[in-house]
A and B are shown apart, each in its own frame.
Chain A
Amino acid sequence: MTSSTLPSMPVERTTLFDPPQEYTALREEHPVTKVRFPNGSTGWLVSRFEEGSEVFAHPKMSARRPRHDTPEGEVAEAGNDAPFNPTFVMMDEPDHSQYRRLLSGRFTPKSIAKNLQPYLDRIVDEHLDAIEKGPKVFDFVEALSLPIPCLVICELLGVPYADRDGFHSATEQMMDLANSREERDKGAHWLIDYITRLVAEKRRTGVQDGILAELIATADDEGSFLKDDEVIGMGVLLLFAGHDTTASMLGLSTLTLLTHPEQRRDLEEHPEKIGPAVEELLRYLTIVQFGLGRVALEDVEIGGQQIAAGDLVVVAMPAANRDPRAFDAPDAPDFDRKMTRHLAFGYGVHQCLGQNVARAELKTVLPRLFERFPNLHLAVAPEEVPMDSLGTNYAVKKLMLRR
């Protein structure tokens, strides 16, 4: 079959919170199926939960993969998609662990509770105070859902918050899949140049103020495996991935609660449910809207399909997280759901490094927001909320609320 006769990967949403509706039939009839991806490359699309988990956990599925979600015609080789060195994100074992373990100690629930939570409590309260003192109608993205994750990643990495406008707009330029490769690379180069200057400055002053300084110290150890372009690559990666994703989840979660009065009341009356509520919002919203790819290193069988060595396999996590085999009534958010795990952060050894930071931010912001502003509601109709449907992460562009 040539690529032109293959079905296309579904990308267009018809409702606010659900993945493209073609997935409902695909998941039932062709859960592992050959498709044409948005950029014209071809490979397998996996839309069920167990099969998706199997792909992520499979030792013969390599994380060194080409992009599938870039604009038409932009097919690049694995590892040649970004101008920065993505290090562990594109590595397999044992290299992956060697690099990831340089960072994982800073992202444990214990480390976050001790080192980040007091700061998070303070900045969330300050931003809620500012909303209370400001106009009745305000943009939630500008007032809270963007600044909080920016402040948090700045604090963790040791990046000056004053530079947030620069790194956020560079991130947007890089992540917007409506942009050409050239335009996206401009955003990436801005981030590379920025982190390169910051690394040089930290080396000069010897300041010890977060993860970036720790990586520099590791790289400067005699005989260290860690190279300078890898320190810069990890810095770039943490800076954009650390703020854009959580900003998206904070905005979309708030929109979900404002349009689901039953769930909102449930959380207001039972603040102790915030843990399960956050997991359910992560599952329900699954913001990595075009899924994540892997490449088969040898012939493997997934869901009864023979996948050949070299084939690209994309797990559509938004569809897999709505698989009725794994979740009862999957298309409705339910904070009483009994759920062991979901695929919003991926699965396998590459599962999101920052997941516990994202959880801490969501668990801190959501209950306090609705406690502080019990009359909070949308200032526009839900269908008028401008959505970012083309970004790597599904998001609200702007969220006008009345307090």
Chain B
Amino acid sequence: MKISLDVDKCCGAGQCVLAAPDVFDQRDEDGIVVLLDENPPAEQLGQVREAAAVCPAAVIEVQE
């Protein structure tokens, strides 16, 4: 799995962190998404997909 982020579009809603806390975090100062793990293990796929689907700004792209 490969994750890419379009950080400019991030609105800091924090939905990705709630869906996949081991893969996504947010910067303290402005809430912008931070990728903790670019190539997370396969068992995280469900959570990462959910994070991509729930993101209001369509920031997260997942390639399997």
Contact = CB atoms under 8 A, between A and B. Distances in A.
A110 B26 contact: yes
A327 interface: no
Contacts, number: 69
B57 to A, nearest CB: 5
B7 to A, nearest CB: 11
Contacts of A350: 11
Nearest to B13: A351
B28 A348 contact: no
A300 to B, nearest CB: 17
B17 A340 contact: no
B37 interface: no
Interface of B, helix, strand, loop or mixed by DSSP: loop
Interface in B33-64: 50, 53-54, 56-58
Contacts of B17: 108-110
A104 B31 contact: yes
Nearest to B26: A108
A340 B51 CA distance: 9
Nearest to B57: A349
Nearest to B56: A351
Nearest to A356: B14
Nearest to A102: B30
Chain A, interface residues (CB within 8 Å), range = 20 to 34
Nearest to A93: B9
Contact of A104 (B15, B30, B54, B58): B30
Interface string B16-38: 01100000011111111000000
A348 B26 CA distance: 18
B12 A107 contact: yes
Given A101-B30, A110-B26, A355 B13 contact: yes
A109 B18 contact: yes
A105 B14 CA distance: 10
A169 B60 CA distance: 42
Contacts of A97: 8, 11
A273 interface: no
Interface of A: 56-57, 97, 100-102, 104-105, 107-111, 340-341, 346-352, 355-356
Interface of B: 8-9, 11-15, 17-18, 25-32, 50, 53-54, 56-58
18 contacts: A97-B8, A101-B30, A102-B30, A104-B31, A105-B28, A105-B29, A107-B12, A107-B14, A107-B31, A108-B17, A108-B28, A110-B25, A110-B28, A340-B50, A341-B53, A346-B56, A355-B14, A356-B13
